[in-house]
Amino acid sequence: MKIPFFQQSTDQSTRLDVVSIPVHPGLICLRGLSSERTRFELEYALERGSTDNSFLFFDSDTSENASKDVVLVHPPGDIYGDVFLPALAKALPKATTRLKVVVGHVNPNRVELLRRLAYIYPFMELISSNPGAKLIKDLWIQSRPPLSHNEERTQQSSPSLPLIRVIRQEELLLKSFAHQLGLLPVPTPRWPGGLLVFESNSGLLMSDKFFSAHICTADWAEVNSVSTQEERRHFYDSLMSSMATQVSQAVERLETLDIRTIAPGHGPSIDGSWRSLLNSYQRWGEGQQEASLKVALFFASAYGNTAAIADALARGISRTGVRVESLNCEFASSNELLSAIKEADAYLIGSPTLGGHAPTPIVSTLGTLLAEGDRSRPVGIFGSYGWSGEALDLLEQKLRDGGFSFGFEPVKIKFSPNALMVKTLEERGTAFGRDLLNSRRQQQRRKIGGLRESSSDPLMLALGRVVGSLCVLTSRKGKNEETISGAMIASWVSQASFSPPGITISVSKDRAVEALLQRGDSFALNILAEGREKVLMKQFLQPFEPGADRFVGLQTETGPAGQPLIPDALAWLEARVQERMECGDHWVIYAEAIHGSVFDNQGVTAVHHRRTGANY
């Protein structure tokens, strides 16, 4: 759908904009734009900015008989408040007498904007699912805790809580002025208040978090599915994969609708390829649901910080092929909790500390885990806190006293994790997943007497004769205290093109450095010299603790693109990732070489010979 124009409101201090996009008569999309990464949650890791989409429905008839009601669907968080509220006021018809606001996922930042709306529009009516209404009521009189002891916050009394219309099942909200808005409650552990909106006359599905992508663009719709494929997959892997069962069930419901366009909460809308995106969601979830090992992740999150920690841990575990099942303890039933405990191979439980205590749902979940959990299965605890972490101390003490063994030391983060912490959490989750897999393999080997079928497989023996050069891939990203880096030994490397000069590298999904090899990222390939490769291989093949610096004790230089170079190598290349292709348990990265040189003109490239193609 081609949009002829948009109007823009800008906050220069924070580089946040709002564009007003007319979609069709009586419908305007108010899109918040953020060109820079403003948060460090895992979902924003691609650093391509973001958007926050809301939708304004009104009667395009300007006669006296026109409806004076206006419906605002999925307002943004208060981070956009200073630019969104003027844009909303400008977009509202002058005759507006009542504002109905449909609220999907609920968090403190969004409730803060609702408070501001309530001051401006005293006759506002909120529309939400039953869990969403509960969250709104709980958060309405609360305020974010200060970020430091020295921070002074102006205390402002909250306006009265507006009337809340609770949607308990699929329901028609509006049938007037050429719009028919249907409401579909779609609760998930991460967003228990999920509420999707479908305008049946135009076939427009306002899907909120589902099918989102963090891309900063003022274009109403994507150019094609390929143009946003990586960003939508990253969003799914970051937030949806640990809820694969619930997400798949929701997608099955949506397939019954007469959809023509999907407009998610973040990113451009999907006009022509929405059906393939629904299929992709189902396909991406199949791997999770078919995994042989499962981790049950229980959490509660007052301000979203503990949920952000849970997301990073879950993403790291999922990289290993281990399934993560997330349950929000505030809304999960006792039967759901008990079933997850019985079926899981490991347990993670995360909690904030509120008033020096763990939330009641977490205490209840802890009691169920102590009563029904298998002591032979490892546990892990995590959470955020303000000035103290009593909730995490309670969890640790009770689980240790209860005879559980810990898969990693408790994760305690003050307030919210930064970029380096998020990367460390991912690596911690990956290490946890690998430990589970190794334990399972050892059990299987004992059962079959330690023999490995692949060791004599002719196919694997032949595949092992494919050789590759030994290299160290290094990558660095970010600035100052937010700089993150990674490295790995790479031997599945090949030149891929002459013009432009390009290479391909195969990277296992569970490699920590894989997160730094997204489209547009740069890296260095340090090609090792025969006879001098052992020292460097020892450096980078050693096991690293999550978050550890891979370059400690090693002399490095910096390339023109800012990537770490190793002078003891034979030669080096700096390259920029152009494409990524998913190949089973690896990603194949195609990158264009942009810089390079030879350290040693007399040396010979070190080559890796294998006995079998079943491992490196």
Domain harbouring 110, CATH code: 3.60.15.10
First to last CA, the chain: 49
Question: Residues, the chain, total?
Answer: 616
Question: Per the domain annotation, does 356 fall within a domain?
Answer: yes
The band of 150, judged by pLDDT with boundaries at 50, 70 and 90, is very low
Which pLDDT belongs to residue 65?
60
Average pLDDT over residues 238-244: 94
69 forms beta bridges with 98
| Secondary structure letter of residue 398 according to DSSP | H
Are residues 574 and 537 both part of a single domain?
yes
Cα–Cα distance measured from residue 380 to residue 393, given in angstroms and rounded to the nearest whole number: 12
Are residues 461 and 414 both part of a single domain?
no
Helix (H) or strand (E) holding 195: strand 195-199
Among 241, 261, 286, the domain boundary falls at 286
Pair type for strands 411-414 and 346-350:
unpaired
Are residues 372 and 223 both part of a single domain?
no
Dihedral class, residue 410 (left if φ above 0, else alpha if ψ from -120 to 50, else beta): beta
The pair of three-digit structure tokens given for residue 485, joined into one six-digit string: 């880096």
Average pLDDT over residues 59-65: 67
Among 251, 267, 286, the domain boundary falls at 286
Are residues 101 and 201 both part of a single domain?
yes
In terms of Cβ atoms closer than 10 Å to its own Cβ (0-12, 13-18, 19+), residue 88 is: buried
Are residues 403 and 529 both part of a single domain?
no
Domain harbouring 479, CATH code: 2.30.110.10
DSSP reduced 3-state for 354: strand
Question: Per the domain annotation, does 448 fall within a domain?
Answer: no
Cα–Cα distance measured from residue 298 to residue 347, given in angstroms and rounded to the nearest whole number: 8
Residue type, 424: T
Give 228-282 as a DSSP string.
HHHHHHHHIIIIIGGGHHHHHHHHHHHTTS--SEEEESSS-BBSS-HHHHHHHHH
Please name the residue that has the structure tokens 């501001």.
116
Q: Which residues contact 544 (CB under 8 A, 6 or more apart)?
A: 427, 550
Which pLDDT belongs to residue 521?
96
Question: Per the domain annotation, does 154 fall within a domain?
Answer: no
Q: What are the helix (H) ranges across 291-402?
A: 305-318, 334-343, 360-372, 390-401
Are 327 and 242 contacting, i.e. CB atoms less than 8 angstroms apart?
A: no
The angle at the Cα of 489, spanning 562 to 231, to the nearest 5 degrees, equals: 60
Three-state SS string over 500-552 comes to: CCEEEEEEECCCHHHHHCCCCCEEEEEECECCCHHHHHHHHHCCCCCCCCCCC
Q: Which of 391, 446, 460, 407 is nearest to 614 (CA)?
A: 460
Are residues 259 and 339 both part of a single domain?
no
Residue type, 30: L
Question: Per the domain annotation, does 613 fall within a domain?
Answer: no
Q: Over the stretch 554-597, which tens digit does the pLDDT of each residue have?
A: 999 999 999 999 999 999 999 999 999 999 999 999 999 999 99
Average pLDDT over residues 507-532: 96
Which pLDDT belongs to residue 154?
47
Give 312-332 as a DSSP string.
HHHHHHHTTT-EEEEEETTT-
Q: Over the stretch 22-31, which tens digit does the pLDDT of each residue have?
A: 999 999 999 9
Which pLDDT belongs to residue 98?
84
Are residues 430 and 577 both part of a single domain?
no
Average pLDDT over residues 35-59: 89
Cα–Cα distance measured from residue 59 to residue 183, given in angstroms and rounded to the nearest whole number: 19
Residue with more model confidence, 479 or 426: 426
Cα–Cα distance measured from residue 171 to residue 55, given in angstroms and rounded to the nearest whole number: 18
**Count of domains observed in the chain:** 3
Are residues 337 and 392 both part of a single domain?
yes
Question: Per the domain annotation, does 370 fall within a domain?
Answer: yes
Are residues 222 and 128 both part of a single domain?
yes
Q: Over the stretch 299-358, which tens digit does the pLDDT of each residue have?
A: 999 888 999 999 999 999 999 999 999 999 999 999 999 999 999 999 999 999 988 899
Among 246, 266, 286, the domain boundary falls at 286
The band of 416, judged by pLDDT with boundaries at 50, 70 and 90, is confident
In terms of Cβ atoms closer than 10 Å to its own Cβ (0-12, 13-18, 19+), residue 182 is: middle
Question: Per the domain annotation, does 574 fall within a domain?
Answer: yes
The band of 68, judged by pLDDT with boundaries at 50, 70 and 90, is confident
Are residues 113 and 201 both part of a single domain?
yes
Q: Is the dihedral of CA 168, 172, 176, 180 positive or negative?
A: positive
Question: Per the domain annotation, does 450 fall within a domain?
Answer: no
Question: Per the domain annotation, does 2 fall within a domain?
Answer: no
Are 131 and 328 contacting, i.e. CB atoms less than 8 angstroms apart?
A: no
Please tell me the pTM assigned to this model: 0.89
Give 455-509 as a DSSP string.
GG-HHHHHHTT--EE-EEEEEEES-GGG-EEEEEEE--EEEEETTTTEEEEEEET
Are residues 199 and 302 both part of a single domain?
no
Cα–Cα distance measured from residue 405 to residue 492, given in angstroms and rounded to the nearest whole number: 37
Domain harbouring 419, CATH code: 3.40.50.360
Residue 209 belongs to what domain range? 7-144+160-286
Q: Which residues of 417-450 are buried (b: 16+ CB within 10 A; e: fewer)?
A: bebbbbbbbbbbbbbbbbbbeeeeeeeeeeeeee
Contacts 24+ apart (CB under 8 A), 277-282: 277/211, 277/225, 277/232, 278/251, 278/254, 280/232, 280/233, 281/210, 281/211, 281/236, 281/240, 281/247, 281/248, 281/251, 282/248, 282/251
Are residues 125 and 243 both part of a single domain?
yes
Are 165 and 129 contacting, i.e. CB atoms less than 8 angstroms apart?
A: no
Least confident residue range of 70-84, 129-143, 438-452, 529-543: 438-452
